[in-house]
Structure 1
Amino acid sequence: MNTDHHHTHACTCGCNNPIVEILKHKLFSKEHIEKLTAHLPKSKPVAASPKAILYSGGTIRPMINGQADIVESIGIAHGTVVACGTYKKVKEAMDAKYKDNYQHIVLDKAHTLIPGMFEPHVHTVFSGMMASWVDVGPFEGQDLKKVYTKEWISATLSSALETSSDTVLLATGLDPALIQPQSGKNFSQIDNVFLDNVSKDKPIIIMSASGHTIYANSVALRQIYNKQQGEPAMHDYSSADDYIAKTHGLLEEEAMMMPAVNTFEEAIASKSLNIVANMDAFFRQANSRGVTSMYDALINQMYIPYLEKYLGARQLSVRLGGALYCETLDAAKALTPYRQPSHYLDLYYGHVKIVSDGSNQGLTGYQSEPYSVILEKDHPCGIFNFSDTETYQTLVDKVILEKGWPIMIHANGNQAITDTIAAFRKALAKYKGPELRNRIEHCSLLEQNSIDEMEKWKISPSFLIGHVGYWGDVFEKVIFEGQHLPENNAPKVFSLDRCSSAAKKLRISLHSDHTVTPLGPLRMMEQSITRVMEANENKWPLNVLNTEEQLSNEQALKAVTYDAAWQCYADSWAGSLEEGKFADFVILEKDPVTMARKDCSMNMRNIKVLETWLGGVKVYAHS
């Protein structure tokens, strides 16, 4: 596999983080894990007792069989659903088993009870690692910042410098694609000269939102060169001044990032000591936004000892599954034969994860034609993460045909998606085992013939719908400006997150890829229903990207509950409130299904989550 890429721009994608790979022996050594978890209790606290409750009134949508139909009542006890349907039926079932020992709650007229929502693609450990760094990202809550400019980034860094006693300022979340005003120049203008204007004395290291690019000021670059000179990564540079002049403070991918990370590894490791508290806060935020289940889209083997200690000391307020990261043939050979998850564990594994390319907003998603913004000649069409399609095919074959694992493959660019479907097709044509729930992650630029192929081979997409809501405008006006689809000559951006076309033939889900976009299933529903491009600098009238791909409210709710659970092999216990499944549910202030499309934009995301329940235990209440 070829991972030695050199770009002059950011790659925004949470699916593979070179910083973790570079520091794995430091951050996840046995000794450091002991430091990270030293204050944790040696065993889980006693679990709260599940409630026995009959709910009626309001609006109750249990999503049975993926349908958003309303029922009169639902009863829960011992952490599971007892009955669901008419009030008479549910009361009889509750009386038969729990007479005089259950509570009857009548929901307010506008309140709505739905299954706990399912986040099918996040990065829990990486989120915990980076949360202590200074945030220079483009988001305020779930919204784009009203002001996200170079001046704001500079001021935020300057303010952090005034209060920091650290030897190096560590910041994260930088996204050149969303810097205002929109311009292709934004991809190269955050450089050492820009950062020198913030500080010429204290080193500054900024991680892009993806973890694929480091931005450094000159004093940091000088320290890096002086400490790492003689190492292979520095052989192209004759002096510190030469290093500064040639890199401009933009250090991309593992080969260029490694010297910087190694130079400042003590500071980085020190910041990671807050990972437990950060992950606790991450799960609390998930509950506050209606999430009861998560699927970590990239679990490195090095994460597992840490996660086992963390989970051994916590009663999680979400259910957690994940995909095992596999980037080499050796890693595939080391896999155990696949066994589909049959019952819930605190951490279960349902897929293998492969990353085929970068991101479109970072100009590294692998395209069939060059980007409209071209900053270098080496990779004008983006990056394919393998040396050739044969190497890619060999890895996919090994995972599916020899080990029997389903795969979720990160693919953003249209060429990456084409090559990924081809790899699946060739492997699945030979596969003789039980049906697999293979997925394409992000699946950003999706053409109709690709949807037809995915239907044939039963491959489902999980859409990073924030691509439309947050980046749609910059895709249209800058990154893919003037480009068109071969199938109908429509603008290329019309193929972005084709939710409606895919949902006609496939089961789909919506995800945040946190930390790339904020947690928030209601926000993801909203963006799939409206397809409003929120970075539009002319805010009125609303700028909508391809109305033909808008989901209905019911389809959007299905995508963040029933189908997301199915994609993640959790449908036997989550995703709907059927008899015998976990009593994981959310009570909302309003019904998202009845909200008119014209009223959804910037509003559905702000529907209050009043309560979140996990296994019949309340884990969040709005104050």
Structure 2
Amino acid sequence: MRKLYFNGTIITVNENQPTVEAVLIENGKIIKVGSKDEVFELKDSETELVDLEGKTMLPGFIDSHSHITAVAQTLMIVNLSEANSKEEFISMLKEYVKNNSPKAGEWVIGFGYDNTKFENEEHPTKFDLDTVTTEVPIFVSHASGHISTTNSKALEALGYVGTDYEVPEGGVVRTVEGSNEPNGVLEENACLAPEKRKIIPAPSIETLLKCIKKAQEIYSSYGLTTAQDAGVDENLHQLLSLAAQKNELIMDVVGQAVQHVTLKLLKNEGTPKREYVNHYKLLGGKTWLDGSPQGKTAWLTKPYYEVPEGESKDYCGYGTQEDKEVTDYFKSLIENNIQVNVHCNGDAAADQFIRCYKKALEETGSQTDLRPVMVHAQTVREDQLDAMKELGIIPTFFLDHIWFWGDYHYDSVFGPERANRLSPAKSALRRNMNFTLHQDSPVKMPNQILAIHNAVNRQTQSGRILGEDQRLTVMEAIKALTLNAAYQYFEEETKGSIEEGKLADFVILDRNPLEVESSKIKEINVLETIKEGNTIYKK
């Protein structure tokens, strides 16, 4: 079956042919782009004509970093992102417990609280959560995903009891002032280490599959035709493989295997260009070297503008691994032709990535194009961008930080100078580096239009502009979400632009982002998302 799209603005993201009048597709692929007359010459009696009615069509958006199964899991737990005070946070948890009556063996799992909204930016502690219940474990993740708060029952289950307990390397258990008694707030590996995560009971496979379907509906509603899961362990790999086997993936899903199982799942695959099986492929490995700037656990070379209470004036956050461990991991991936994705928010973490990856390349002697990815890269310096370009490291920037937390970063986390250099995408562009944009869902929803808006405007919620010289044009931002993202996945020959021979992955918008006033970009609506010629979302 052929389909012919016409009568709209068709932005191809192909520099040699930026816009066309019509597109013809067949069997999920683009077979002709060009003028209306050129394309209409190829239609036959069975060709379906699709009148765009003046709307704008782009290549389907490609998610360069998120956690789609985590988004699925958030659909089963308490969403606390709207809590504007500690009291409201507690009230929402109490309401959930009242309405759901958790049974023995079940946990109350929450996500998304933002302590910067609370008085004195205080995290809720076990003393707060114990007012909800002391009978059922409560575990609530911070919006950043790098800090959690728990009640006494959950602390007990996690092994943090009394004053003598072991904390996984790269983790911190916050304590009651003047003692070693846990106060319920856990940082990094104290709550993220695999041996801790497996203590928390998982939902059934059937429930997860249903929620993965709903998560895909969310992603496609934002114009995405390719999603990512950047935290795949053995269980999630089995889950996504099962979803693929059952033909329940309506979009492409790219998995990144977490550090401790990367080689087990990907060793001896032979090539960095891996193939999808029913829309799922496991592409690379994932590790993280520091934490979150808004949680003040990112690893910096210079102290935080306002250090957390109880820390010394030279507090710079901290790393999660030693150089040898990082270098050995990089070497093992390079030797097996596996791409690596590395979480680095602070510039000290970025230094470690650059230092260790360079050493790993030297020791392996590899010349293979593996396209390593620096995830977030929020505070990378100019000299680091030079080093990243030399090593072929792709930065994927989380520019929505400027909208959601920019004022906090300016006033408390980094101070004015560093806040104005957050996610320096233009600096990367000036070096002709391939870079992408992401929203790290479920930290924030995968709203690609908002990503364009924030890349172009770089405006905080108070109206402050952070880094005017780092603003992108609309077309530069679109390319970061399409063709650049395809390159990050070794898929630039099949995705990312509307060209003959590529997949028929499209998004249709109600307005042309190249013509809308910059302050109004975020108001553009996704009307339809098309994956390989099939509509997977329609407004």
Determine which of 273, 280, 298 is the counterpart of 1:341.
Answer: 273
Distance 2:187 2:208 in 1: 25
Aligned to 2:450: 523
1:469 corresponds to? 403
- What residue in structure 1 maps to residue 315 of structure 2? 380
The residue number in structure 1 matching 2:467 is 546
Paired with 2:484 and 2:384, the residues of 1 have a C-alpha distance of: 20
Does residue 76 of structure 1 match 2:20? no
Moved more, 452-461 or 74-83: 452-461
Aligned-pair CA distance for 1:364: 1.4
* Structure 1 residue 173 corresponds to structure 2 residue 111: yes
Match of 1:301 among 234, 238, 243: 234
Q: Aligned partners of 1:373 and 1:273: how far apart in 2?
A: 45
C-alpha distance in 2, partners of 1:197/1:124?
Answer: 32
8 Å CA contact 1:59–1:113 kept in 2: the answer is yes
Distance change (3 Å), C-alpha of 1:112 and 1:277? same
For the residue of structure 1 that corresponds to 2:529, the secondary structure is strand
Structure 1 pair 342/478, CA: closer, same or farther in 2 (3 Å)? closer
Contact 2:146 2:291 in 1 (8 A): no
Q: Does 1:361 align with 2:288?
A: no
Q: Distance in 2 between matches of 1:504 and 1:108?
A: 37
Does the CA contact (< 8 Å) of 2:13 and 2:59 recur in 1?
Answer: yes
TM-score when normalising by structure 1? 0.77
Q: 1:129 aligns with which of 73, 83, 89?
A: 73
SS of match in other structure, 1:321: strand
TM-score (norm 2): 0.88
**Match for residue 501 of structure 1?**
427
User: Per-residue deviation at 1:543?
Assistant: 1.6
Shift of 1:310: 1.5
1:126–1:342 CA distance, 2 compared to 1 (3 A): closer
Secondary structure of 1:359's aligned partner: coil
- Cα distance, 1:61 vs structure 2: 0.8
1:573–1:256 Cα change, 3 Å: closer
Q: What amino acid does structure 2 have at the position aligned with 1:122?
A: S
Distance 1:343 1:193 in 2: 50
Cα RMSD, aligned residues only: 3.2
SS of equivalent residue, structure 1 residue 249: strand
Cα separation, 1, equivalents of 2:94 and 2:480 = 42
Q: CA deviation at 1:397?
A: 2.5
1:249 to 184, 191, 195: 184
Matched, 1:64 2:9: no
TM alignment of 1:44-193, pairs within 5 A: 51-65=1-15, 69-92=18-41, 94-95=42-43, 99-109=44-54, 111-138=55-82, 148-167=84-103, 170-180=108-118, 185-186=120-121, 188-193=122-127
Q: Is the 8 A contact 2:123 2:149 kept in 1?
A: no
Q: In structure 2, how many angstroms separate the alpha carbons of the residues matched to 1:103 and 1:154?
A: 55
User: For residues 182-261 of structure 1, what are the structure 2 equivalents within 5 Å?
Assistant: 185-186=120-121, 188-199=122-133, 203-218=137-152, 221=155, 233=166, 246-255=181-190
Is residue 274 of structure 1 aligned with residue 207 of structure 2? yes
CA contact (8 A) 1:294 1:320 kept: yes
Cα gap change, 1:262 to 1:412, in 2 (>3 Å): closer
- After superposition, what is the alpha-carbon deviation per residue over 1:281-334, rounded to whole angstroms, capped at 9, x for unaligned? 000111111000113223223322222212111242211222222248x94897
1:618 lines up with 2:513 in the alignment: no
2:419 alignment partner AA: V
Q: Is the 8 A contact 2:163 2:180 kept in 1?
A: no
Distance 1:103 1:269, change over 3 A: closer
Structure 1 position 351, deviation (Å):
2.4
| SS of equivalent residue, structure 1 residue 63 | coil
Does the aligned pair in 2 maintain the 1:84–1:579 contact within 8 Å? yes
Is 1:582 the counterpart of 2:503 in the alignment?
Answer: yes
Distance in 2, Cα, partners of 1:589 & 1:263: 44
The 8 Å contact of residues 274 and 281 in structure 2, kept in 1 or not, is answered as: no
Gaps of 5+ in 1: 1-50, 139-146, 235-240, 482-489, 537-541
Would you say how many aligned residue pairs link Structure 1 and Structure 2? 524
Aligned: 1:392 with 2:326:
yes
User: Counterparts of 1:403 and 1:263 in 2: how far apart (Å)?
Assistant: 28
**SS at 2:387 equivalent:** helix
Sequence identity percentage:
24
Question: What's the offset of the Cα at 1:245?
Answer: 7.6
- Compare relative contact order (CA 8 Å, sep 6+) and give the higher one, 1 or 2: 1
Cα shift at 1:392: 2.1
2:90 aligns to what SS in structure 1? helix
Distance 1:514 1:383 in 2: 24
The residue that corresponds to 1:141 in the other structure is none
1:530 Cα deviation after fit? 0.7
* Cα distance, 1:55 vs structure 2: 1.5
Q: Against the structure 1 CA distance between its residues 195 and 232, is the aligned structure 2 distance closer, same or farther, given a 3 Å change threshold?
A: closer
Provide the rounded CA distance (Å) in 1 between the counterparts of 2:162 and 2:389: 53
Cα offset for 1:391?
3.2
